[in-house]
Amino acid sequence: MLYLPAIDLWNYSTRQAIESGQIKLQRGQWVKCGSDKLGRYVGTKGSHWVAHWQGSKEATNKRFKDLCEAF
């Protein structure tokens, strides 16, 4: 499965499409959440889990890995 261009999770219809299964995101997909900084999608369990920008690439990757383990 290929990654999509960055998905805007603040767009209501996009969120609905994800929740209904019309759009399937894979872990690691780049997403936007109201900021110009991209986050990485972890999964959906009642809410969307996203590793947001943590100030550096290394810190963001660590946060992503930590969330993947917790998910």
Quickly tell me which residue has 């996203």 as its tokens.
Answer: 50
Six-digit token string for 26: 């894979």
Six-digit token string for 53: 């920008």
Q: Tell me how far apart the alpha carbons of residues 70 and 12 are, in angstroms, rounded to a whole number.
A: 26
Quickly tell me which residue has 């963001």 as its tokens.
Answer: 60
Identify the residue with better confidence: 2 or 48. 48
Note the pLDDT of residue 42: 96
Q: What pTM did the predictor assign?
A: 0.86
Q: Tell me how far apart the alpha carbons of residues 21 and 42 are, in angstroms, rounded to a whole number.
A: 16
pLDDT digits (tens, 9 = 90+) for 31-63: 999 888 999 999 988 889 999 999 999 999 999
Note the pLDDT of residue 44: 87
Mean pLDDT, rounded, for 18-34: 92
